[in-house]
């Protein structure tokens, strides 16, 4: 069953918002399509601005707050702006991180082989929040005092400390300079660990996008700078251990847990934090509505070891290994089942997925066991043989995009695939030459938003003869249409099909 | 969509992004303590007395020991310490009562406490009591003091047996003091 028949309300809402942003930004600059990359970008903005203000930061009870006040007020034109950018970029990082999490959840991109990125992402959430909270302590203002004391009170609930840590902060005399050395060391160490974890987070995907488009990056930076100039960040008065901070301006992106600790007990908040973390971590293994189809399999005797499947796999699920069957090729493709999401992109990339091959039961070098290429060819042949009338069109679509079944008619045949990049260009050519259709319309997810990350890009490049396997030049390009439409864009797809057929009517008849 | 409309839309998006970041970076404000409240932190670490009293070895017992063990003449049947019981009263009303177990597997360590007690600011008579023995129900440390607690002020109630027991730190004004130990 295809996902486009079961889109949830949240999914429809997300597609609507992204559609609106597509109209404003264009697909290539849509911020919703770059949430992960924007996260990386804000991390670097935080790191660079932080490195500057860190140079002026002094560690000590008497030194920390004055040093922060110095670069905030005396050097407002650079240090102050850098501090504000540091703070606002940190907030933006949390915002895009949670949007990224929410988006991947709504799209269902956390199950199966994607569990690795999902779970490492959950770990990153807590690491980033920890680094941010740690940063607030360095200012040593009343907000720092409140968050430090509340944190140690919260941790004291755990039965692992012989003496309450909170006693360290009970009076000014109990505190010493080493605390500031510790937190300033942690504020460098934790971000370094975050950077390492970010690398782990993306290590199982091919061609990870870690930089947003230039125009988007500039737009975001200018926004942060403007905000820093209009509302520069200020401290909230020197910490005083003899006075309890009363009313505080809380950064809700990082410090939301503290007001909660004022309402709930420490144990309840621990239960909430552990509960959320546990739920997020087990989410990939909870029962799914749609089972993943069996993963790709290599047919060694049909594999020439060309490596095209490896180049196109978005999940590093196919690797090249030295030949094991004695055939005269240096390497062979091997599927890593734990990483395969059954998208079929490797099948579309395989040169042997060629429907012009003579054998009725031909096998490609790499196949989806539940959707073998010979069966797809047979299905296309059968469907095309039943078409009637003028302007016959074969529509190839994607299970995760617009519903192409509604387009089926006497003169329109359809075939939906797990990802449109499972379509070898030769199958489109086959429909034109052997099936006698007037045109082939290829449709899949919106540009920049392929469910399987790279499918739309690969198909576009294959059709433009910029990527192997290419659509052969003998194919009349005007007879191959493209329309990139999500499950919310069924109407747009129908309009595109009509428009495509109108353009076909101007071409010479094929029959 | 025309280019100018697209640029306006992009500007609107960035403005919304900035407003979201700018607002939730500081607002809504959080009230940690009401304007008329003050805070008492009851916090100390104290080792209760041993549950079973130690005794001196008899000369016969000492004579049975090897020479190198004879320096120690005291013998304690158990390392276990008594629970420390603390009570705090304000204006004759009990605010707090806690029985603190000693730390350690052998219950031979200190008993620790850290509690935040928010209350209305103003003049209050506070009475702190502590029992660190298992011999009876009487409190062997009692401290009573009438203090004027200013709003937002953190008064710390500490305890040092060596200096006589409870110490009220960071009180605004002490109006009357009564120490019994």
**If we measure between CA atoms, which residue out of B132, B154, B150 comes closest to residue B141?**
B132
CA distance A344 to chain B (A): 36
Q: How confident is the model at residue A163 (pLDDT cuts 50, 70, 90)?
A: confident
The average pLDDT across A464-483 equals 96
Give the pLDDT of residue A2: 43
Burial label for B49, CB within 10 Å (0-12, 13-18, 19+), is middle
Q: Do A245 and B41 touch (CB under 8 A)?
A: no
ipTM, interface predicted TM-score of the complex: 0.92
Of B35, B116, B170, nearest to A242 by CB-CB distance is: B170
Q: How confident is the model at residue A390 (pLDDT cuts 50, 70, 90)?
A: confident
Q: Are A54 and A83 in contact (CB under 8 A)?
A: no
Of B29, B109, B169, nearest to A247 by CB-CB distance is: B29
CA of B114: which chain A residue's CA is closest?
A164
Q: How confident is the model at residue B181 (pLDDT cuts 50, 70, 90)?
A: very low
Of A220, A230, A244, nearest to B33 by CB-CB distance is: A244
Q: Do A230 and B45 touch (CB under 8 A)?
A: no
Give the pLDDT of residue A4: 47
Task: Classify domain B37-51+81-180 by CATH number.
Answer: 2.60.40
Q: A152: which chain B residues are within 8 Å (Cβ-Cβ)?
A: none
Q: Where are the domains of chain A?
A: 26-285, 297-505
Give the pLDDT of residue A289: 78
The average pLDDT across A411-426 equals 97
Of A25, A153, A227, nearest to B18 by CB-CB distance is: A227
Q: Do B24 and A219 touch (CB under 8 A)?
A: no
Q: How confident is the model at residue A480 (pLDDT cuts 50, 70, 90)?
A: very high
Q: Do B25 and A31 touch (CB under 8 A)?
A: no
Of A171, A224, A246, nearest to B35 by CB-CB distance is: A246
Of A88, A164, A249, nearest to B21 by CB-CB distance is: A88
Q: Are A487 and A402 in contact (CB under 8 A)?
A: yes
Of B9, B29, B45, nearest to A249 by CB-CB distance is: B29
- Those residues of chain B whose CB sits closer than 8 Å to some CB in chain A are 1, 6, 9-10, 13-14, 17-18, 20-22, 24-35, 38-39, 41, 43, 45, 103-104, 109-110, 112-114, 116, 152-154, 156, 158, 169-170
What is the 8-class DSSP label of residue A341? -
pLDDT at residue B170 is higher than 50: yes
Q: How confident is the model at residue B162 (pLDDT cuts 50, 70, 90)?
A: very high
Give the pLDDT of residue A292: 86
Disruptive mutation site among A89, A148, A243 for chain B (greatest number of B CBs within 10 Å): A243
**If we measure between CA atoms, which residue out of B44, B114, B176, B38 comes closest to residue A242?**
B38
The average pLDDT across B26-39 equals 95
**Secondary structure class of B116 (helix, strand, coil):** strand
Q: B156: which chain A residues are within 8 Å (Cβ-Cβ)?
A: 170-171
- What pLDDT, in 10s, does the model give residues A6-33? 568 999 999 999 999 999 999 999 999 9
- What pLDDT, in 10s, does the model give residues B95-104? 999 999 999 9
Q: Please give the Cα distance from A201 to A110 (Å, whole number).
A: 13
Give the pLDDT of residue A8: 86
The average pLDDT across A408-418 equals 96
Residue A479: how many CB atoms within 10 A of its CB?
21
Q: Do A92 and B6 touch (CB under 8 A)?
A: no
CA of B15: which chain A residue's CA is closest?
A223
Residue owning tokens 């990870």: A208
Q: A166: which chain B residues are within 8 Å (Cβ-Cβ)?
A: 43, 114
Q: Please give the Cα distance from A335 to A340 (Å, whole number).
A: 7
Topology of the domain covering A26-285: Cytochrome Bc1 Complex; Chain C (1.20.810)
CA of A221: which chain B residue's CA is closest?
B14
Of A87, A153, A219, nearest to B14 by CB-CB distance is: A219
Q: How confident is the model at residue A174 (pLDDT cuts 50, 70, 90)?
A: confident
Give the pLDDT of residue B1: 75
CA distance A143 to chain B (A): 10
pLDDT at residue B152 is higher than 90: yes
In Å, how far are A24, A26, A30, B9 from B3, measured between CA atoms? 9, 11, 15, 10
Q: Please give the Cα distance from A96 to A98 (Å, whole number).
A: 5
Give the pLDDT of residue B31: 97
Q: Please give the Cα distance from A348 to A334 (Å, whole number).
A: 16
Give the pLDDT of residue A1: 37
**Pairs across A and B, CB distance < 8 A:** 122
pLDDT at residue B173 is higher than 60: no
Q: Do B32 and A262 touch (CB under 8 A)?
A: yes
Give the pLDDT of residue B2: 86
- Across A217-226, B91-100, B110-119, which has the greatest mean pLDDT? A217-226
Q: Do B25 and A163 touch (CB under 8 A)?
A: no
Q: Do B113 and A164 touch (CB under 8 A)?
A: yes
CA distance B148 to chain A (A): 15
Q: Please give the Cα distance from A18 to A339 (Å, whole number).
A: 28
pLDDT at residue A3 is higher than 90: no
Of B13, B21, B26, nearest to A24 by CB-CB distance is: B13
Q: Where are the domains of chain B?
A: 1-30, 37-51+81-180
- What pLDDT, in 10s, does the model give residues A176-190? 899 999 999 999 999
Q: Do B17 and A241 touch (CB under 8 A)?
A: no
Give the pLDDT of residue B135: 86
Disruptive mutation site among B14, B21, B117, B152 for chain A (greatest number of A CBs within 10 Å): B21
The average pLDDT across A460-472 equals 96
Disruptive mutation site among A17, A23, A24 for chain B (greatest number of B CBs within 10 Å): A24
CA of B7: which chain A residue's CA is closest?
A24
- Worst-scoring range by mean pLDDT, A287-291, B82-86, B110-114? A287-291
**If we measure between CA atoms, which residue out of A410, A470, A482, A404 comes closest to residue A439?**
A482
The average pLDDT across B151-176 equals 85
């Amino acid at each position: 069953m295809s996902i486009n028949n079961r889109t949830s309300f949240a999914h429809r809402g997300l597609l609507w918002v992204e559609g609106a942003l597509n109209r404003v930004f264009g697909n290539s600059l849509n911020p919703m399509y770059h949430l992960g990359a924007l996260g990386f970008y804000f991390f670097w903005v935080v790191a660079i601005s932080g490195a500057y203000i860190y140079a002026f930061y002094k560690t000590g009870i008497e030194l920390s707050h004055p040093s922060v006040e110095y670069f905030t007020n005396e050097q407002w034109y650079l240090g102050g702006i850098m501090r504000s950018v540091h703070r606002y970029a940190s907030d933006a990082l949390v915002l895009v991180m949670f949007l990224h999490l929410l988006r991947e959840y709504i799209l269902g991109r956390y199950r199966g082989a994607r569990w690795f990125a999902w779970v490492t992402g959950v770990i990153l959430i807590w690491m980033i929040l920890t680094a941010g909270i740690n940063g607030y302590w360095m200012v040593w203002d009343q907000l720092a005092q409140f968050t430090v004391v509340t944190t140690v009170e919260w941790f004291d609930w755990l039965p692992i400390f012989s003496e309450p840590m909170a006693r360290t902060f009970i009076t000014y005399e109990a505190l010493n300079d080493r605390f500031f050395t510790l937190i300033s060391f942690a504020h460098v160490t934790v971000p370094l660990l975050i950077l390492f974890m970010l690398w782990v987070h993306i290590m199982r995907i091919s061609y990870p996008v870690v930089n947003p488009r230039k125009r988007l990056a500039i737009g975001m930076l200018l926004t942060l700078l403007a905000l820093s100039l209009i509302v520069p960040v200020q401290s909230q008065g020197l910490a005083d251990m003899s006075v309890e901070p009363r009313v505080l301006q809380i950064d809700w992106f990082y410090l939301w847990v503290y007001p909660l600790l004022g309402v709930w007990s420490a144990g309840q908040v621990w239960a909430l934090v552990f509960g959320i973390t546990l739920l997020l971590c087990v989410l990939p293994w909870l029962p799914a509505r749609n089972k993943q189809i069996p993963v790709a399999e290599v047919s060694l005797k049909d594999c020439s070891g060309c490596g095209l499947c490896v180049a196109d796999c978005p999940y590093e699920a196919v690797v090249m290994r030295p030949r094991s069957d004695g055939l005269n090729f240096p390497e062979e493709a091997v599927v890593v089942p734990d990483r395969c999401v059954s998208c079929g992109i490797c099948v579309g990339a395989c040169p042997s997925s060629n429907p012009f091959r003579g054998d009725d039961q031909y096998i490609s070098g790499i196949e989806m066991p539940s959707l073998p290429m010979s069966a797809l060819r047979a299905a296309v042949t059968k469907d095309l043989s039943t078409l009637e009338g003028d302007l016959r069109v074969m529509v190839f679509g994607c299970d995760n995009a617009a519903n192409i079944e509604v387009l089926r008619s006497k003169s329109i045949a359809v075939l939906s695939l797990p990802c449109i990049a499972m379509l070898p260009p030769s199958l489109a050519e086959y429909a034109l030459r052997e099936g006698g259709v007037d045109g082939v319309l290829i449709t899949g997810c919106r540009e920049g938003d392929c469910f399987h990350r790279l499918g739309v890009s690969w198909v576009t490049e294959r059709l433009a003869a910029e990527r192997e396997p290419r659509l052969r030049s003998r194919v009349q390009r005007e007879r191959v249409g493209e329309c990139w439409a999500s499950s919310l864009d069924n109407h747009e797809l129908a309009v595109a099909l009509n428009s495509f057929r109108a353009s076909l009517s101007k071409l010479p008849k094929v029959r | 969509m025309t280019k100018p409309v697209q640029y306006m839309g992009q500007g609107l998006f960035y403005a919304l992004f900035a407003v979201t970041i700018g607002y939730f970076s500081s607002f809504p404000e959080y009230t940690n303590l009401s304007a008329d409240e003050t805070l008492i932190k009851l916090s100390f670490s104290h080792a209760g007395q041993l549950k079973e009293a130690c005794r001196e070895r008899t000369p016969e017992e000492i004579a049975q020991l090897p020479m190198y063990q004879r320096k120690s003449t005291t013998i304690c049947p158990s390392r276990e310490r008594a629970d420390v019981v603390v009570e705090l009263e304000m204006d004759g009303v009990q605010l707090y009562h806690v029985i603190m177990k000693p730390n350690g597997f052998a219950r031979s360590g200190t008993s620790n406490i850290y509690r935040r007690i928010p209350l209305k600011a103003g003049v209050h008579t506070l009475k702190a009591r502590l029992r660190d023995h298992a011999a009876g129900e009487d409190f062997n440390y009692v401290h009573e003091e009438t203090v004027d607690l200013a709003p937002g002020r953190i008064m710390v109630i500490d305890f040092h047996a060596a200096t006589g027991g409870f110490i009220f730190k960071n009180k605004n004004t002490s109006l009357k003091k009564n120490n019994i130990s």
